[in-house]
Protein backbone atom coordinates (compact mmCIF):
# COMPACT_ATOMS: atom_id res chain seq x y z
CA UNK A 1 0.00 0.00 0.00
CA UNK A 2 1.23 3.51 -0.78
CA UNK A 3 0.83 6.85 0.98
CA UNK A 4 1.98 10.47 0.87
CA UNK A 5 3.78 11.97 3.88
CA UNK A 6 4.37 15.63 4.65
CA UNK A 7 7.25 15.32 7.12
CA UNK A 8 7.12 18.97 8.09
CA UNK A 9 9.18 21.25 10.28
CA UNK A 10 6.14 22.18 12.37
CA UNK A 11 3.67 19.38 11.63
CA UNK A 12 3.49 15.95 10.02
CA UNK A 13 0.54 14.64 8.01
CA UNK A 14 0.04 11.41 6.09
CA UNK A 15 -2.67 10.42 3.65
CA UNK A 16 -3.85 7.68 1.32
CA UNK A 17 -6.07 7.58 -1.74
CA UNK A 18 -9.67 6.44 -1.28
CA UNK A 19 -12.31 6.49 -4.03
CA UNK A 20 -10.09 8.73 -6.13
CA UNK A 21 -9.60 11.35 -3.41
CA UNK A 22 -6.70 11.94 -0.98
CA UNK A 23 -7.74 11.23 2.61
CA UNK A 24 -5.73 12.37 5.63
CA UNK A 25 -5.26 9.90 8.49
CA UNK A 26 -5.77 10.83 12.17
CA UNK A 27 -2.46 10.80 14.05
CA UNK A 28 -3.16 12.65 17.31
CA UNK A 29 -6.33 13.43 19.27
CA UNK A 30 -8.37 12.01 16.39
CA UNK A 31 -7.00 14.67 14.02
CA UNK A 32 -4.50 14.40 11.15
CA UNK A 33 -2.03 17.09 12.20
CA UNK A 34 0.83 15.84 14.37
CA UNK A 35 3.25 18.49 15.75
CA UNK A 36 6.83 17.66 14.75
CA UNK A 37 8.41 16.97 18.11
CA UNK A 38 9.17 14.03 20.34
CA UNK A 39 10.05 13.32 23.95
CA UNK A 40 12.08 10.34 25.13
CA UNK A 41 12.06 9.52 28.83
CA UNK A 42 15.37 8.89 30.53
CA UNK A 43 13.52 5.96 32.10
CA UNK A 44 13.22 3.38 29.32
CA UNK A 45 9.96 1.50 28.77
CA UNK A 46 8.96 -1.35 26.54
CA UNK A 47 6.28 -0.33 24.01
CA UNK A 48 2.62 -0.96 24.72
CA UNK A 49 1.01 -4.09 23.29
CA UNK A 50 -2.56 -3.28 22.29
CA UNK A 51 -5.00 -6.15 21.79
CA UNK A 52 -8.13 -5.97 19.66
CA UNK A 53 -10.26 -6.51 22.75
CA UNK A 54 -8.63 -3.58 24.56
CA UNK A 55 -8.99 -1.38 21.50
CA UNK A 56 -12.66 -2.22 20.99
CA UNK A 57 -13.54 -1.67 24.63
CA UNK A 58 -11.70 1.65 24.81
CA UNK A 59 -13.28 2.88 21.59
CA UNK A 60 -16.76 2.20 22.97
CA UNK A 61 -15.92 4.03 26.20
CA UNK A 62 -14.58 7.08 24.34
CA UNK A 63 -17.63 7.30 22.07
CA UNK A 64 -20.02 6.99 25.01
CA UNK A 65 -18.31 9.93 26.71
CA UNK A 66 -18.14 12.10 23.59
CA UNK A 67 -20.77 14.76 22.93
CA UNK A 68 -20.37 14.26 19.16
CA UNK A 69 -20.28 11.27 16.86
CA UNK A 70 -16.66 10.41 16.16
CA UNK A 71 -15.45 8.66 13.02
CA UNK A 72 -14.27 5.08 13.30
CA UNK A 73 -10.72 6.16 12.44
CA UNK A 74 -10.70 8.96 14.99
CA UNK A 75 -11.90 6.49 17.63
CA UNK A 76 -9.08 4.08 16.80
CA UNK A 77 -6.52 6.87 17.08
CA UNK A 78 -7.95 8.17 20.37
CA UNK A 79 -8.20 4.69 21.85
CA UNK A 80 -4.64 3.78 20.93
CA UNK A 81 -3.46 7.06 22.39
CA UNK A 82 -5.31 6.38 25.65
CA UNK A 83 -3.98 2.83 25.92
CA UNK A 84 -0.40 3.97 25.34
CA UNK A 85 -0.80 6.55 28.09
CA UNK A 86 -2.14 3.94 30.52
CA UNK A 87 0.78 1.68 29.67
CA UNK A 88 3.32 4.42 30.41
CA UNK A 89 1.78 5.00 33.82
CA UNK A 90 1.80 1.34 34.86
CA UNK A 91 4.80 -0.15 33.05
CA UNK A 92 8.05 -0.54 35.01
CA UNK A 93 11.18 1.11 33.66
CA UNK A 94 13.70 -1.35 32.26
CA UNK A 95 16.67 0.99 32.76
CA UNK A 96 17.59 4.67 32.98
CA UNK A 97 19.42 6.26 30.07
CA UNK A 98 22.22 8.72 30.72
CA UNK A 99 22.31 10.21 27.22
CA UNK A 100 19.99 10.72 24.27
CA UNK A 101 22.02 8.16 22.32
CA UNK A 102 21.39 5.55 25.01
CA UNK A 103 17.71 6.52 25.26
CA UNK A 104 17.22 6.18 21.50
CA UNK A 105 18.79 2.73 21.53
CA UNK A 106 17.11 1.46 24.70
CA UNK A 107 13.57 2.84 24.67
CA UNK A 108 10.97 1.78 22.15
CA UNK A 109 8.29 3.90 23.81
CA UNK A 110 8.30 7.60 22.94
CA UNK A 111 5.91 10.51 23.02
CA UNK A 112 5.27 12.37 19.78
CA UNK A 113 3.41 15.58 18.99
CA UNK A 114 1.61 17.82 21.47
CA UNK A 115 1.86 15.17 24.17
CA UNK A 116 5.65 15.29 23.83
CA UNK A 117 5.65 19.07 24.24
CA UNK A 118 3.39 18.88 27.29
CA UNK A 119 5.62 16.25 28.90
CA UNK A 120 8.68 18.43 28.35
CA UNK A 121 6.93 21.43 29.87
CA UNK A 122 5.79 19.34 32.85
CA UNK A 123 9.12 17.56 33.41
CA UNK A 124 11.99 19.07 31.37
CA UNK A 125 14.72 17.36 33.41
CA UNK A 126 13.52 13.77 33.09
CA UNK A 127 13.72 13.31 29.35
CA UNK A 128 15.09 14.41 26.01
CA UNK A 129 12.94 16.74 23.92
CA UNK A 130 13.48 17.40 20.22
CA UNK A 131 11.41 20.02 18.40
CA UNK A 132 11.34 20.25 14.61
CA UNK A 133 14.05 17.66 13.84
CA UNK A 134 13.67 18.36 10.11
CA UNK A 135 15.21 21.81 10.63
CA UNK A 136 18.52 20.22 11.68
CA UNK A 137 18.92 17.67 8.89
CA UNK A 138 20.62 19.99 6.42
CA UNK A 139 22.89 21.60 9.02
CA UNK A 140 26.64 21.18 9.45
CA UNK A 141 26.53 18.15 11.77
CA UNK A 142 29.22 15.57 12.43
CA UNK A 143 28.84 11.83 11.91
CA UNK A 144 27.78 11.21 15.52
CA UNK A 145 25.10 13.90 15.33
CA UNK A 146 23.98 12.51 12.01
CA UNK A 147 23.48 9.11 13.65
CA UNK A 148 21.41 10.72 16.42
CA UNK A 149 19.17 12.58 13.99
CA UNK A 150 18.74 9.49 11.82
CA UNK A 151 17.53 7.64 14.93
CA UNK A 152 15.21 10.53 15.85
CA UNK A 153 13.67 10.63 12.37
CA UNK A 154 13.36 6.84 12.45
CA UNK A 155 11.41 7.03 15.73
CA UNK A 156 9.05 9.65 14.33
CA UNK A 157 8.50 7.85 11.03
CA UNK A 158 7.95 4.55 12.85
CA UNK A 159 5.25 6.17 14.99
CA UNK A 160 3.51 7.71 11.97
CA UNK A 161 3.69 4.48 9.97
CA UNK A 162 2.43 2.34 12.85
CA UNK A 163 -0.44 4.71 13.61
CA UNK A 164 -1.47 5.03 9.96
CA UNK A 165 -1.40 1.26 9.51
CA UNK A 166 -3.44 0.67 12.66
CA UNK A 167 -6.05 3.32 11.83
CA UNK A 168 -6.47 2.24 8.20
CA UNK A 169 -5.80 -1.47 8.81
CA UNK A 170 -3.23 -1.56 6.01
CA UNK A 171 0.47 -2.26 5.52
CA UNK A 172 2.50 0.63 4.11
CA UNK A 173 5.43 -0.26 1.90
CA UNK A 174 5.63 2.66 -0.55
CA UNK A 175 5.84 6.32 0.36
CA UNK A 176 6.19 9.68 -1.36
CA UNK A 177 7.73 12.16 1.10
CA UNK A 178 7.67 15.93 0.66
CA UNK A 179 10.91 17.87 0.64
CA UNK A 180 11.65 21.61 0.60
CA UNK A 181 13.57 23.19 -2.24
CA UNK A 182 16.35 23.79 0.32
CA UNK A 183 16.58 22.29 3.78
CA UNK A 184 17.42 24.49 6.75
CA UNK A 185 21.20 24.88 7.03
CA UNK A 186 24.22 26.49 5.39
CA UNK A 187 25.60 23.58 3.38
CA UNK A 188 23.57 24.20 0.23
CA UNK A 189 23.42 21.19 -2.12
CA UNK A 190 25.45 19.03 0.27
CA UNK A 191 23.04 19.84 3.10
CA UNK A 192 20.07 18.90 0.92
CA UNK A 193 21.67 15.57 0.02
CA UNK A 194 22.52 14.90 3.65
CA UNK A 195 18.94 15.59 4.75
CA UNK A 196 17.42 13.37 2.05
CA UNK A 197 19.87 10.58 2.90
CA UNK A 198 18.94 10.75 6.60
CA UNK A 199 15.19 10.56 5.85
CA UNK A 200 15.66 7.82 3.25
CA UNK A 201 17.79 5.71 5.61
CA UNK A 202 15.34 6.15 8.49
CA UNK A 203 12.37 5.23 6.26
CA UNK A 204 14.03 2.07 4.99
CA UNK A 205 15.08 1.11 8.54
CA UNK A 206 11.41 0.87 9.50
CA UNK A 207 10.48 -1.40 6.62
CA UNK A 208 9.41 0.93 3.82
CA UNK A 209 10.47 -0.64 0.54
CA UNK A 210 10.20 2.21 -1.94
CA UNK A 211 10.76 5.89 -1.10
CA UNK A 212 10.34 8.81 -3.48
CA UNK A 213 10.71 12.52 -2.74
CA UNK A 214 8.72 15.37 -4.25
CA UNK A 215 9.28 19.09 -3.76
CA UNK A 216 6.57 20.44 -1.48
CA UNK A 217 5.44 23.36 -3.69
CA UNK A 218 5.07 20.93 -6.62
CA UNK A 219 2.96 18.67 -4.39
CA UNK A 220 0.77 21.65 -3.51
CA UNK A 221 0.41 22.35 -7.25
CA UNK A 222 -0.77 18.80 -7.88
CA UNK A 223 -3.44 19.24 -5.21
CA UNK A 224 -4.63 22.51 -6.77
CA UNK A 225 -4.60 20.89 -10.22
CA UNK A 226 -7.37 18.48 -9.24
CA UNK A 227 -9.74 21.47 -9.00
CA UNK A 228 -8.98 22.91 -12.44
CA UNK A 229 -11.01 22.53 -15.62
CA UNK A 230 -8.51 24.47 -17.75
CA UNK A 231 -4.71 24.76 -17.92
CA UNK A 232 -3.00 27.44 -15.86
CA UNK A 233 0.49 28.68 -15.11
CA UNK A 234 0.63 29.02 -11.34
CA UNK A 235 3.14 30.40 -8.87
CA UNK A 236 2.99 28.15 -5.81
CA UNK A 237 3.94 29.80 -2.51
CA UNK A 238 4.42 27.24 0.26
CA UNK A 239 4.94 29.07 3.56
CA UNK A 240 6.00 26.24 5.84
CA UNK A 241 7.23 26.05 9.39
CA UNK A 242 10.93 25.90 8.56
CA UNK A 243 11.22 26.75 4.87
CA UNK A 244 9.49 28.86 2.26
CA UNK A 245 9.39 27.49 -1.28
CA UNK A 246 8.13 28.79 -4.61
CA UNK A 247 7.60 27.03 -7.92
CA UNK A 248 6.25 28.20 -11.25
CA UNK A 249 4.47 25.24 -12.79
CA UNK A 250 2.06 24.46 -15.62
CA UNK A 251 -0.92 22.52 -14.33
CA UNK A 252 -4.34 21.51 -15.57
CA UNK A 253 -6.20 18.83 -17.54
CA UNK A 254 -3.57 18.68 -20.30
CA UNK A 255 -0.82 17.74 -17.87
CA UNK A 256 -2.67 15.75 -15.22
CA UNK A 257 -1.95 12.25 -16.56
CA UNK A 258 1.67 12.82 -17.54
CA UNK A 259 4.13 10.64 -15.61
CA UNK A 260 7.05 12.98 -16.29
CA UNK A 261 6.15 16.52 -15.26
CA UNK A 262 9.66 17.97 -15.24
CA UNK A 263 9.08 20.12 -18.35
CA UNK A 264 6.03 21.63 -16.63
CA UNK A 265 8.17 23.10 -13.83
CA UNK A 266 9.59 26.41 -15.02
CA UNK A 267 11.40 27.51 -11.85
CA UNK A 268 12.14 26.74 -8.21
CA UNK A 269 13.24 29.05 -5.39
CA UNK A 270 13.47 28.29 -1.71
CA UNK A 271 14.97 29.64 1.47
CA UNK A 272 15.44 28.25 4.97
CA UNK A 273 12.96 30.58 6.61
CA UNK A 274 9.43 29.88 7.78
CA UNK A 275 6.86 30.09 10.53
CA UNK A 276 9.30 29.12 13.27
CA UNK A 277 11.55 32.00 12.25
CA UNK A 278 8.58 34.38 12.47
CA UNK A 279 7.83 33.09 15.98
CA UNK A 280 11.49 33.51 16.95
CA UNK A 281 11.59 37.06 15.58
CA UNK A 282 8.34 38.00 17.30
CA UNK A 283 9.69 36.63 20.59
CA UNK A 284 12.98 38.49 20.16
CA UNK A 285 11.45 41.84 19.22
CA UNK A 286 8.35 41.97 21.44
CA UNK A 287 8.99 39.60 24.36
CA UNK A 288 12.71 39.83 25.03
CA UNK A 289 12.69 43.58 25.85
CA UNK A 290 10.71 42.48 28.92
CA UNK A 291 13.52 40.03 29.73
CA UNK A 292 16.28 42.64 29.65
CA UNK A 293 16.97 43.15 25.94
CA UNK A 294 18.30 46.71 25.38
CA UNK A 295 19.05 47.24 29.09
CA UNK A 296 22.16 49.41 29.53
CA UNK A 297 24.52 48.13 32.24
CA UNK A 298 26.44 50.35 34.66
CA UNK A 299 29.47 50.17 32.35
CA UNK A 300 27.47 51.99 29.69
CA UNK A 301 27.07 48.93 27.44
CA UNK A 302 23.89 46.96 26.71
CA UNK A 303 23.40 43.32 27.68
CA UNK A 304 24.74 41.40 24.65
CA UNK A 305 21.95 40.74 22.17
CA UNK A 306 23.14 37.19 21.43
CA UNK A 307 21.81 36.00 24.82
CA UNK A 308 18.25 36.94 23.90
CA UNK A 309 18.56 35.58 20.38
CA UNK A 310 19.84 32.25 21.72
CA UNK A 311 17.03 32.13 24.28
CA UNK A 312 14.32 32.10 21.60
CA UNK A 313 16.06 30.21 18.77
CA UNK A 314 15.04 26.64 19.57
CA UNK A 315 15.72 25.41 16.03
CA UNK A 316 19.47 26.09 16.28
CA UNK A 317 21.49 23.34 17.99
CA UNK A 318 24.62 25.42 18.61
CA UNK A 319 22.61 28.37 19.93
CA UNK A 320 20.82 26.13 22.42
CA UNK A 321 24.06 24.47 23.49
CA UNK A 322 25.60 27.87 24.16
CA UNK A 323 22.56 29.20 26.00
CA UNK A 324 22.33 26.13 28.23
CA UNK A 325 26.06 26.08 29.02
CA UNK A 326 27.51 26.91 32.43
CA UNK A 327 29.36 29.78 30.76
CA UNK A 328 26.06 31.48 29.91
CA UNK A 329 24.84 31.00 33.49
CA UNK A 330 27.91 32.83 34.82
CA UNK A 331 27.53 35.52 32.14
CA UNK A 332 23.93 36.29 33.11
CA UNK A 333 24.79 36.30 36.81
CA UNK A 334 27.61 38.79 36.16
CA UNK A 335 25.28 41.10 34.26
CA UNK A 336 22.77 40.95 37.11
CA UNK A 337 25.38 42.53 39.38
CA UNK A 338 25.74 45.37 36.87
CA UNK A 339 22.11 46.56 36.81
CA UNK A 340 19.19 47.16 39.12
CA UNK A 341 16.68 46.59 36.32
CA UNK A 342 14.59 43.62 37.46
CA UNK A 343 13.73 42.56 33.89
CA UNK A 344 17.05 40.74 33.50
CA UNK A 345 16.05 38.37 36.32
CA UNK A 346 13.39 37.00 33.98
CA UNK A 347 16.10 35.91 31.53
CA UNK A 348 17.80 34.04 34.37
CA UNK A 349 14.50 32.35 35.23
CA UNK A 350 13.99 31.39 31.58
CA UNK A 351 17.50 29.93 31.44
CA UNK A 352 17.53 28.18 34.84
CA UNK A 353 14.05 26.66 34.56
CA UNK A 354 14.46 25.67 30.88
CA UNK A 355 11.43 27.72 29.83
CA UNK A 356 12.65 28.29 26.27
CA UNK A 357 9.98 26.04 24.79
CA UNK A 358 7.22 27.70 26.79
CA UNK A 359 8.33 31.16 25.68
CA UNK A 360 8.45 29.93 22.08
CA UNK A 361 4.94 28.52 22.38
CA UNK A 362 3.77 31.81 23.91
CA UNK A 363 5.16 33.70 20.90
CA UNK A 364 3.40 31.28 18.56
CA UNK A 365 0.18 31.74 20.51
CA UNK A 366 0.56 35.51 20.24
CA UNK A 367 0.85 35.21 16.46
CA UNK A 368 -2.30 33.06 16.38
CA UNK A 369 -4.29 35.41 18.64
CA UNK A 370 -3.24 38.40 16.54
CA UNK A 371 -4.91 36.70 13.59
CA UNK A 372 -8.23 37.52 15.25
CA UNK A 373 -7.41 40.64 17.29
CA UNK A 374 -5.56 43.90 16.79
CA UNK A 375 -4.13 43.89 20.34
CA UNK A 376 -3.61 41.12 22.88
CA UNK A 377 -2.45 40.68 26.45
CA UNK A 378 -0.06 37.69 26.46
CA UNK A 379 0.23 36.05 29.91
CA UNK A 380 3.53 34.52 31.01
CA UNK A 381 2.73 33.43 34.59
CA UNK A 382 5.34 30.66 34.50
CA UNK A 383 8.02 33.37 34.40
CA UNK A 384 6.53 35.68 37.01
CA UNK A 385 3.18 36.15 38.72
CA UNK A 386 0.86 38.65 36.99
CA UNK A 387 3.31 39.03 34.11
CA UNK A 388 1.42 40.06 30.95
CA UNK A 389 2.84 41.59 27.77
CA UNK A 390 0.76 43.79 25.46
CA UNK A 391 1.37 43.13 21.74
CA UNK A 392 -0.32 44.69 18.70
CA UNK A 393 -0.75 43.34 15.19
CA UNK A 394 1.29 46.32 14.02
CA UNK A 395 4.17 45.21 16.25
CA UNK A 396 3.92 41.73 14.72
CA UNK A 397 4.18 43.24 11.25
CA UNK A 398 7.15 45.38 12.25
CA UNK A 399 8.91 42.43 13.88
CA UNK A 400 8.67 40.18 10.82
CA UNK A 401 9.09 42.85 8.12
CA UNK A 402 12.53 41.58 7.10
CA UNK A 403 11.22 38.04 6.73
CA UNK A 404 8.28 39.20 4.60
CA UNK A 405 10.69 40.98 2.27
CA UNK A 406 12.62 37.71 1.89
CA UNK A 407 9.39 35.92 0.97
CA UNK A 408 8.72 38.56 -1.68
CA UNK A 409 12.21 38.15 -3.12
CA UNK A 410 11.68 34.39 -3.47
CA UNK A 411 8.46 34.97 -5.38
CA UNK A 412 9.87 37.58 -7.73
CA UNK A 413 12.97 35.44 -8.35
CA UNK A 414 10.76 32.47 -9.30
CA UNK A 415 8.81 34.67 -11.73
CA UNK A 416 12.03 36.08 -13.21
CA UNK A 417 13.53 32.61 -13.68
CA UNK A 418 10.37 31.44 -15.42
CA UNK A 419 10.46 34.44 -17.74
CA UNK A 420 6.69 34.92 -17.61
CA UNK A 421 3.93 36.07 -15.30
CA UNK A 422 1.66 33.54 -13.52
CA UNK A 423 -2.05 33.26 -14.10
CA UNK A 424 -2.52 32.94 -10.35
CA UNK A 425 -0.62 32.67 -7.06
CA UNK A 426 -1.57 29.61 -5.01
CA UNK A 427 -0.74 29.97 -1.32
CA UNK A 428 -0.44 27.13 1.16
CA UNK A 429 1.30 26.40 4.48
CA UNK A 430 0.37 27.25 8.05
CA UNK A 431 2.32 30.52 8.08
CA UNK A 432 -0.14 31.93 5.52
CA UNK A 433 -2.93 31.80 8.13
CA UNK A 434 -1.74 35.11 9.59
CA UNK A 435 -3.67 38.16 8.32
CA UNK A 436 -0.38 40.08 8.48
CA UNK A 437 1.14 37.64 5.98
CA UNK A 438 -1.98 37.66 3.78
CA UNK A 439 -2.05 41.46 3.77
CA UNK A 440 1.60 41.49 2.71
CA UNK A 441 0.94 39.06 -0.19
CA UNK A 442 -1.97 41.20 -1.46
CA UNK A 443 0.04 44.43 -1.21
CA UNK A 444 3.16 42.93 -2.83
CA UNK A 445 1.19 41.47 -5.77
CA UNK A 446 -1.90 43.71 -6.06
CA UNK A 447 -2.69 42.76 -9.66
CA UNK A 448 -2.47 38.97 -9.19
CA UNK A 449 -5.21 36.47 -8.49
CA UNK A 450 -4.49 35.00 -5.06
CA UNK A 451 -5.85 31.52 -4.34
CA UNK A 452 -5.64 30.27 -0.75
CA UNK A 453 -5.34 26.49 -0.46
CA UNK A 454 -5.70 24.14 2.46
CA UNK A 455 -3.05 25.59 4.77
CA UNK A 456 -2.04 22.24 6.22
CA UNK A 457 -3.42 19.59 3.85
CA UNK A 458 -2.54 20.76 0.33
CA UNK A 459 0.99 19.39 0.28
CA UNK A 460 -0.05 16.04 1.76
CA UNK A 461 -2.89 15.66 -0.73
CA UNK A 462 -0.51 16.40 -3.58
CA UNK A 463 1.95 13.83 -2.28
CA UNK A 464 -0.83 11.24 -2.18
CA UNK A 465 -1.71 12.17 -5.78
CA UNK A 466 1.91 11.61 -6.80
CA UNK A 467 2.04 8.31 -4.89
CA UNK A 468 -0.96 7.09 -6.88
CA UNK A 469 0.79 8.05 -10.14
CA UNK A 470 3.93 6.16 -9.15
CA UNK A 471 2.57 3.15 -7.28
CA UNK A 472 -1.13 2.93 -8.01
Q: Are 183 and 195 in contact (CB under 8 A)?
A: yes
Residue 123 pLDDT: 83
Residue 98 pLDDT: 86
Residue 293 pLDDT: 96
Residue 319 pLDDT: 87
- How many C-beta atoms lie closer than 10 Å to residue 472's C-beta? 11
Reported as a single tens digit per residue, the pLDDT across 51-100 is 999 999 999 999 999 988 999 999 999 999 999 999 888 888 778 888 88
CA gap 116, 127 in Å, rounded: 10
CA gap 144, 116 in Å, rounded: 24
Domain boundaries defined on the chain:
276-379
Reported as a single tens digit per residue, the pLDDT across 237-261 is 999 888 899 999 999 999 988 888 8
Residue 125 pLDDT: 84
- How many C-beta atoms lie closer than 10 Å to residue 133's C-beta? 21
Q: Which residues pair with 13 in a beta bridge?
A: 6
Residue 107 pLDDT: 67
Complete edge-to-edge strand list for the sheet that includes strand 244-251: 265-271, 244-251, 232-239, 424-428, 450-452
C-alpha distances out from residue 316 to 16, 49, 68, 276, 340, Å = 33, 36, 42, 11, 31
Residue 108 pLDDT: 67
Residue 371 pLDDT: 86
Counting as low any pLDDT under 50, the low residues of the chain are: none
| 0.95 surpassed by pTM | no
Amino acid sequence: MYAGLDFGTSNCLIGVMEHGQPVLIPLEDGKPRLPSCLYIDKDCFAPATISNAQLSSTMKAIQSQSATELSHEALINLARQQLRKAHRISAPATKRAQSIVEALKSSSDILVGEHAAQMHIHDPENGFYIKSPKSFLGADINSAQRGVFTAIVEKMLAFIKEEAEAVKEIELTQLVIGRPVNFHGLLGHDGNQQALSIIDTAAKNIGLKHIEFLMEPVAAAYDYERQLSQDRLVLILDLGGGTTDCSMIKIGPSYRKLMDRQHCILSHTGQRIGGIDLDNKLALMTLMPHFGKNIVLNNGLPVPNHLFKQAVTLNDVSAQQDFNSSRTTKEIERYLTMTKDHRLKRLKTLRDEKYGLRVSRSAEQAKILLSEQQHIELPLPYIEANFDITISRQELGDAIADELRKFETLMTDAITQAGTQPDAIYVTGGTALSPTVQQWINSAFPDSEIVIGDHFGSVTSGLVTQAQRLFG
